[in-house]
Amino acid sequence: MTSLTAPALGATPAEAGLPRATGRVDRPLQALTYATVAVLVLAPIVPILIQSFSSKPLYDDTGIWTLADYAELAQDPAFWRASANTLLFGAASTLIAQVVGVWLAIVIGRTDLPGRRVLGAVATWPLFVSHLVLAFGWIIAYGPAGYVTSWLTGLIGEEPWNLYTLGGLSLAAGLSMAPLTYLYCVGAARTIDGSLENAARLAGAGPFRTLVTVTLPLLRPAIIASTILNFVLAIELLVLPLLLGAPSGLEFLTTFIYTRGFEDSTPRHGMVAAVAVILFAVVTLLVLAQMRLVGDGRRFTTVGGKAARPRRLELSWAKWPTFGLVLAFDAFFVVAILGGLVLRGFTSVLSPFVPLSEALTLDNFRTIFAYEQYVRSIGNTIAVAVAGGVIGTALVAAAALVALRSDVPGPAGAGLPGGLSAGGAGHPHRHGLPVGGDVAAGPEPAPEHDLDPGAGLRDAPPADRLGRGAAGPAPDHPRPRPLGAHRRVELDPDGDRDPAAADAPGPRRLLHPALRPLREGIRRRGVPVRAGQRGDGHHDADLLGPGRERRGGGAGHAPGRHRGGVHGPAVAAAGSAHP
Amino acid sequence: MPKSLLWVAVAALMLGPVAARAEGTPAGYPADYAKLIETSKSEQGVLVYSVMAAFNWKPVIEGFAKKYPWIKVETLDMSSELWDRYNTEKASGARTADLIASFGVDRWNEFIAKGEAVPHASPEEAHLPAWARLSPGVYGLSADPVLIVWNKRLVPEGTKLDSMAAVAKFAEANAQKVKGRLTTYDSGSGTVNASFNWLWSTMHPDAWTTLQALAPATKFERSGGSMLEKVTSGEYTAAYLTSAITVYTKINEPARKAILDWSYVKDGQPMFVRAMAVAKGGRNPASARLLMDHILSKDGQIAFAKGGLTPVRDDIAAGEIPYGTIAQVAEAVGGADKLRFMPYDEASVASITGFVERWKRDVATGGRP
């Protein structure tokens, strides 16, 4: 995990130390990067914007400028119904995701819950499965003929729920998004200084009051960031609403776009683009709101005195009931769904009317390998992922350097306290990609980086930090248990919000999911990081000063610490980045 | 490297004689057909945009490769986005489909009206019924019956849902039990999906009464595959006016056969005609024409039938294909006059548009909460 915050292998101290590159060679490179990013961001947006004001499809050049599509939308009751459904669905699913996700983060990240590592790891599995596949999983388990539904119907004599309703859909989507919230909050939850909670308890607060007045406020940046992110994800969700909502005739903005734009005999290009522009505007506003709400992360920094091992809250009598609840969550909303999918893969039919033993088969897999097209599609997927990862890593790394290490003005660089943030390199589980940190984090803290005079100065100009940092201990200084002044920046203002989302205006935010694999790549490669915070909340080295970095510091223990993790490939890659 | 070159050489030696033999014009074809074959050799293969899956194409392409081994066939399995993709690619000068095989009464009319279909008289034309000759160069490639499928465990033994009237009667008698347990295509999701219900409705003056009566019991789906899956799992009791191609190929799986039963529609059998044409925007018109004529040939039709399609040709006998021929369907429903082949005329465009509007008003609301 620490490899994430290790410096780039090729970075010379001079490079790493330069606050702003202004060299002669850099200029054109910076401009090129800037232009490339601008083109990539604008390429999909501009045509949509033009299309929304055009009377004909873009390929037909007889179109004229018009507002007709917006006007028609305003008068289309179906559009308003879809908008209302989208808002309701977004709000309900986000609420479910947040309540469940934050609860999971607290009980797994803050308490002495038995088996928390495994339970926490299982809870994140849905993140690795596409929504399309998850939707089928929900139907297999909880649809009207789902095996869980059938089993319960047999017990109580009537159907317990209907998945194909706004409520059922919101529950399915909310629980599918809860792992994202969990990942956002669990890192923050782990860093909370137990002494703050202890202080509250000593002052007479009950556990609930402590939770509400101390723990939750400290999680606020992570909660706000994940709330807005989840809401944006929810209103942009297509597959779940299409598969679970359509049979009941529920329409949402995304399915509205799909139906009018793809299925209709006369696709309404203009109207579809107009809806997309409206959705885009809403998302931009939300991202701006997020920037405003958590923009100044320093407000959430706590300064402690003597360092203490992060202590876990004791659940005492609630221990086993809580364990049961988390286990039930994992069992019903992760294992039941993914297990149903696996089962379906190995059966010819999955039906209560057919004994499982008669349906077992490998034919589904044989079919895949019998057709060139299917095999090719697997190959394509892998090729796209690899090529995308490589190209994107290079591009985002370049963009991050230009935005944050150069004088090139622009939105990406504006408003940042400085330091490299765009890749989220210092953030171990950005955007739901858990790497290292949250898996590896055990009750035992990693060796703290020693005295850090840079504490509290993380937002100072780099040169200043550099100066102070350079005065720190020698590189070979053994790392004792922290003594004395210990950096107690509990909630990393950079780390716990979503940098790309918070720092970028709408367009980049929209590209965000697409860039996901790219950022992942950056982390693995270890772009120089100013002040990283690992998932378990322990600040890693400030890598600016020559010789101060714990180069490859993670290599020694990373693999061991990843044992038992579920994030196979990502973790393996992170662990092997510094052999 | 030398080793792989050796293999290429061996392959060339083995294929050479085959190719030479296959080069002759197929029997009964006009003499100038050889020119077409010759032209195809300088082209880059055929790109097909279709609504059929890879497994439907496989036997067809294998047969085609025997006749014209130098033509590489690529198929893309698409749905309604097919047309827009073609339009966009053609407008931007990108490589696009050489051959299009799809449904859509309105989209085909638009395509033909815009002059996008390359006119061409197939040498196989004599074997095609009138309804399969949509326009010069546009031919029906299959006429697939629409079916009713039900779960035997959920429908009392002896009840055969072999007509829409039987389905309506069953739904009426079990109103509570089958509420939301029937399914059919969602006519609100585009005219292609609507055409299943529309075609049946054109055969009955009182069709709306039946469709409306079924509405409260019905949930609407977008794909035949998902209907079949959900009838199998028991989520739905029955699917009416669903597509045969998904049912035929899966119904004989032992596990499914035990729980599913199906029937043609005795009170009016819609026959869903898939059409194809060589597209003007394609770069390989000669190869595309060869493929089209192959699909219309007896071999090609039988090959497509293996994947569950129903051949349009009049000279295919029962037993030559795994599922029913048109004549067999007619016999099962009580006469050829009970069949209705999807008409691709202009009047149908207005008819289907009107159907969708009325469906949204009278049926969708009844079936939806």
Dump the DSSP string for A211-255: IIIIIHHHHHHHHHHHHHHHHHHHHT--HHIIIIIGGGT---HHH
Higher pLDDT, B195 or A550: B195
State the best of B85, B235, B349, B352 to mutate against chain A, taking most chain A CBs within 10 Å: B235
Q: Which of A60, A265, A377 would you mutate first to test chain B, the one with the most B CBs within 10 A?
A: A265
The enclosing H or E element of A467 equals helix A462-470
Q: Is A145 helix (H, G, I), strand (E, B) or coil?
A: coil
Q: Do A373 and B235 touch (CB under 8 A)?
A: no
State whether B219 and A349 contact (CB < 8 Å): no
A65 touches chain B (CB under 8 A): no
Of B153, B188, B221, the CB nearest to A353: B153
Residue B1 sits at the chain A interface (C-beta within 8 Å): no
Cβ-based contacts of B55 with chain A (< 8 Å) = 367, 371
Q: Do B232 and A351 touch (CB under 8 A)?
A: yes
What are the two backbone dihedrals, phi and then psi, of residue B74, each rounded to the nearest 5 degrees? -115, 130
Q: Quote the minimal CA–CA distance from B254 to chain A in Å.
A: 9
- Closest Cα partner for A541 from A477, A460, A497? A477
- pLDDT above 80: residue A462: no
Q: Of A290, A312, A281, A362, which is closest to residue A52 (Cα–Cα)?
A: A281
Cα–Cα distance measured from residue B333 to residue B318, given in angstroms and rounded to the nearest whole number: 16
Tokens of B224: 């035949």
Least confident of A19-28, A151-160, A526-535, B191-200: A526-535
* Cα–Cα dist B199/B342, whole Å: 7
Q: Which residues of B touch A372 (CB under 8 A)?
A: 54
Distance CA A212, CA A563 (A): 34
In chain A, residues with a C-beta closer than 8 Å to the C-beta of B253 are 348-349
Residues 280-299 of A with CB under 8 A from B: none
Residue B91 structure tokens: 């407008």
Q: Quick: pLDDT tens for A97-123.
A: 999 999 999 999 888 888 888 999 999
CB pairs < 8 Å spanning A and B: 109
Tell me the CA distances in angstroms from A68 to A72, A78, A233, A268, one per residue in order. 6, 17, 29, 12
**Is residue A166 within 8 Å of residue A92, measured between CB atoms?**
yes
Scan for tokens 């390199």, then name that residue. Answer: A425
Q: Is any Cβ of chain B less than 8 angstroms from the Cβ of A343?
A: no
Give the total residue count for chain B: 369
Q: Which residues partner with B149 through β-bridges? A: B239, B262
Higher local confidence (pLDDT), B18 or A147:
A147
Among A502-516, B21-35, B74-88, B114-128, the range of highest mean pLDDT = B114-128
What is the C-alpha radius of gyration for chain B, rounded to an integer number of angstroms?
22
Sign of the C-alpha dihedral computed for residues B122, B128, B134 and B135 taken in this order: positive
Q: Which chain A residues are within 8 Å of B233, Cβ to Cβ?
A: 143, 145, 349-352
Nearest partner of A60 among B252, B351, B30, B90, judged by Cα:
B90
Size (chain A), residues: 579
Considering CB atoms only, which of A144, A249, A359 is closest to B235?
A: A144
Amino acid, res. A472: G
Coil, strand or helix at A380: helix
Q: Which pair of tokens denotes residue A176?
A: 């599918």
pLDDT at A299: 58
Residue B368 forms contact with A (CB below 8 Å) = yes
Q: Is the separation of the CB atoms in A518 and A215 below 8 Å?
A: no
A59 touches chain B (CB under 8 A): yes
Please check the confidence at residue A523 and state whether its pLDDT lies above 80.
Answer: no
Task: Inspect the interface and report whether the beta carbons of A265 and B191 lie closer than 8 Å.
Answer: yes
Higher per-residue confidence, A15 vs A325? A325
- Per-residue pLDDT, averaged over A176-190, amounts to 89
Q: Quick check: A350 contacting B, CB < 8 Å? A: yes
B84 — contact with chain A (CB < 8 Å)?
A: yes
Q: Would you tell me which residues 359-418 of chain A have a C-beta closer than 8 angstroms to some C-beta of chain B? A: 359, 367, 371-374
Distance CA A404, CA A16 (A): 12
Which range has the top average pLDDT, A397-406, B1-10, B22-31, B246-255? Answer: B246-255
- 3-state secondary structure at position B3: helix
Q: Are B55 and A164 within 8 A, CB to CB?
A: no
Does A145 contact B151 at a Cβ distance shorter than 8 Å?
Answer: no
Element containing residue B272 per DSSP (H, E): strand B269-278
If pLDDT is split at 50, 70 and 90, which confidence band does A56 have?
confident
Contact A59 B233 (CB under 8 A): no
Q: Residue B361: which of B219, B236, B239, B211 has the closest Cα?
A: B211
Bigger pLDDT: A12 vs A37: A37
Q: How far apart are CA A315 and CA A113, in angstroms?
A: 7
Q: Which two tokens stand for residue B288?
A: 């595309």
Q: Which residue of A has its CA nearest to B353?
A: A265
As a dihedral over the C-alpha atoms of residue B145, residue B151, residue B156, residue B160, rounded to 10 degrees, the angle is 10
> B348 CB near a chain A CB, below 8 Å?
no
Query: Do A352 and B233 lie within an 8 Å CB cutoff?
Result: yes
Compute φ and ψ for B273, nearest 5 degrees. Answer: -95, 120
Cα–Cα distance measured from residue B302 to residue B296, given in angstroms and rounded to the nearest whole number: 10
Confidence at residue A429, expressed as pLDDT on a 0 to 100 scale: 34
Q: Is the pLDDT of residue A513 over 80?
A: no
Could you say which of A60, A267, A349 has the minimum Cβ distance to residue B256? A349
Is the model more confident about B7 or about B263?
B263
Q: What are phi and psi of B184, to 5 degrees?
A: -160, 180
**Mean per-residue pLDDT for B216-221?**
91
Count CB neighbours of B333 within 10 A: 21
pLDDT of residue A416: 33
Shortest CA gap A275–chain B (Å): 18
Question: For residue A282, which phi and psi values (nearest 5 degrees)?
Answer: -60, -45
Q: B281 φ, ψ to 5°?
A: -75, -10
Residue B58 contacts A where some CB pair is shorter than 8 Å: yes
Q: Which of B130, B134, B162 is nearest to B146 (CA)?
A: B162
Contact A145 B234 (CB under 8 A): yes
% of residues, chain B, pLDDT over 90: 68
Find the DSSP H helices in chain B. 2-22, 33-40, 54-67, 81-92, 105-113, 164-173, 191-201, 207-214, 224-233, 244-251, 254-257, 285-296, 298-306, 326-333, 346-358, 365-367
Q: Which residues of A touch B87 (CB under 8 A)?
A: 57, 59
B80/A262 Cβ within 8 A: yes
Mark which residues 277-316 of B lie under 8 Å from A by CB.
Answer: none
Structure-token match 């970028």, residue found: A504
Most confidently predicted of A490-504, A509-523, B92-106: B92-106
The more confident residue out of A158 and A331 is A331
As a whole number, mean pLDDT of residues A506-530 equals 45
Nearest to A188 by CA among A213, A212, A224: A224
pLDDT of residue B281: 94
Q: In whole angstroms, what is the distance from residue A6 CA to residue A548 CA?
A: 11
Q: Is residue B70 predicted with pLDDT exceeding 50? A: yes
Comparing CA positions, the residue from A127, A31, A187 lying closest to residue A338 is A127
Classify burial at A310, counting beta carbons within 10 Å of its beta carbon; exposed 0-12, middle 13-18, buried 19 or more. buried
Report the percent of chain A where pLDDT is more than 70: 62
* Interface check B252 vs A, CB under 8 A: no
Rounded to whole angstroms, how far apart are CA atoms A151 and A148?
5
Q: Considering only CB atoms, which chain A residues are within 8 Å of B258?
A: 353-354
Contact predicate A199/A184, CB 8 Å: no
Answer whether A353 touches B (CB < 8 Å): yes
Q: Does B72 touch chain A (CB under 8 A)?
A: no
DSSP annotation of B60 reads H
Report the gap between the CA of B76 and the closest CA in chain A (Å): 9
3-state secondary structure (DSSP) of residue B184: strand
Instruction: Tell me the two tokens of residue A537.
Output: 């909340």
Is the CB of B346 inside 8 Å of chain A's CB atoms? no
Enumerate residues 6+ apart whose C-beta is below 8 A from A20: A405, A406, A407, A462
Q: How far is A575 from chain B (nearest CA, A)?
A: 37
pTM of structure: 0.70
Task: With CA atoms as reference, report the closest residue to B309 among B319, B323, B292.
Answer: B323
Q: Which of A340, A532, A329 is nearest to A430 (CA)?
A: A532
In the chain, the amino acid numbered B187 is: S
Tokens, residue B168: 């309506």
Contact (CB<8Å) B230/A249: no
How large is the angle between the packed helices A77-109 and A166-191, nearest 10 degrees? 40
Confidence (pLDDT) at A295: 63
Closest-approach residue (CA) in chain A for B229: A349
pLDDT in tens, A6-18: 333 333 444 444 4
A149 within 8 A of A161, measured Cβ to Cβ: yes
H or E element at residue A185: helix A166-191
User: Which of A164, A165, A358 faces B255 most closely, judged by CB atoms?
Assistant: A358
Give me the residues paired with residue B145 across strands.
B271
Supply the mean pLDDT for chain B: 89
Other C-beta atoms lying within 10 Å of the C-beta of residue B42: 10
Q: Tell if the CB–CB gap between A263 and B255 is shorter than 8 Å.
A: no
| Cβ-defined contact of A265 to B221 (cutoff 8 Å) | no
Residue B291 corresponds to which tokens in the numbers above? Answer: 């493929």
Structure tokens, B28: 């009964």
**Among A132, A138, A259, A263, the residue to mutate for chain B (most B Cβ within 10 A):** A263
User: Which of A249, A348, A371 lies nearest to residue B364, judging by beta carbons?
Assistant: A249
A249 to chain B, any CB pair closer than 8 A? The answer is: yes
CA distance linking residue B273 with residue B144, whole number of Å? 6
Checking if the pLDDT of B255 tops 90, the result is no
Whole-number Å distance between alpha carbons of A140 and A145? 7
From chain A, the residues in CB contact with B232 under 8 A are: 349, 351
Q: How confident is the model at residue B293 (pLDDT cuts 50, 70, 90)?
A: very high
**If you average pLDDT over every residue of chain A, what do you get?**
69
Residue A176: closest CA among A247, A244, A114: A244
Dihedral sign for Cα B105, B108, B112, B113, please.
positive
Q: For residue range A226-249, list pLDDT tens digits in order.
A: 999 999 999 999 989 988 988 888
Report the Cα A51 to chain-centroid distance in Å.
Answer: 31
Q: What is the Cα Rg of chain A in Å?
A: 25
Nearest partner of A55 among A70, A74, A44, judged by Cα: A70
Are the C-beta atoms of A197 and A312 separated by less than 8 Å? no
What's the pLDDT at B283?
95
